[in-house]
Amino acid sequence: MGNKRGPDFIIAGAPRAGTTWLYHLLARHPQIVMNQPVKPEPKFFLIDELYKLGLEYYGPTWFPQAEAHRLWGEKSTNYLESPEVASRIYHCLPKVKLIFILREPGARAFSNYLWSRMNGLENKDFATALALEEKRGQQLPADLKYSRPYDYLSRGLYAELLRPYFALFPKTQILCLKYEDILTNPQNLTERLHKFLGVQVRPQDCQGLGVINPSEKDDVSLPPEVRKMLAAYYAEPNRQLAELLGDDFEVWHDQ
């Protein structure tokens, strides 16, 4: 392996939208090796102290046994949320392929909330948590800097988050998938993903994966009035996303 080799592709977001499912799907492919371990994520391009070590630190740390002829894939979900990360990746790896998987933003926000509850980080009802998001984000302790457990609404502003990547990378190097396709048409999603990466298409790889890293074990349901509020909140951001991604991505309508 080269001393300064980085990943060939990156699963870069969004949180609570199926990135771990994609990781395990691609780890099944014989032409691909994914970063080890899956947790904690590398966050190489996000954490200043790691990035300063350079790509010569990258391979031996997350791909110590990887053969040079296989594709290297990294999953670091928070990359979507940082324009600086987009610049760093482009500076180091201008030919890298980027994979984003997006979820209807209201459902994503609620899943994020349930994850925070499940991990003992949230004790408010969902509507109150949404109202407090900005304030709590400003008061976030250092140990929650990357998990950002209260960023429910802002993480669904996908067009805003994706623009720095589209400004730097050709569209041919970016693939945006939908979480909902994991549930309704996983084989088609798998085929698209393998074709994008240029590996043998193996639609059967998705079989038996099931639900990975769930948060929806909670018995709390989304109140209709909150669902309506979320639909209104994301109407314009979703319109902007449709404009950014074009006909290849069908955005969500009112849920």
Percent of the chain, pLDDT > 90?
81
Checking if the pLDDT of 243 tops 60, the result is: yes
Q: Using CA of residue 179, residue 185, residue 186, residue 191, what is the dihedral sign?
A: negative
User: Structural domains in the chain?
Assistant: 9-248 (3.40.50.300)
Mean pLDDT value of segment 105-125: 93
* CB 109 within 8 Å of CB 153: yes
Q: What is the pLDDT of residues 64-86, one digit of tens each?
A: 988 888 999 999 999 999 999 99
Least Cα distance to 153 among 244, 237, 221, 213 occurs for: 237
pLDDT given at position 217: 63
pLDDT at residue 1 is higher than 60: no
The pLDDT value recorded for residue 218 is 57
pLDDT, residue 65, reads: 83
Taking the C-alpha atoms of residue 134 and residue 186, their distance in angstroms, rounded to an integer, is: 35
**12-59: pLDDT as tens digits:** 999 999 999 999 999 999 999 999 999 999 999 999 999 999 999 999
Reported as a single tens digit per residue, the pLDDT across 198-230 is 999 999 999 999 777 666 665 667 889 999 999
pTM: 0.93
The per-residue pLDDT for 210 is 79
pLDDT at 129 over 70: yes
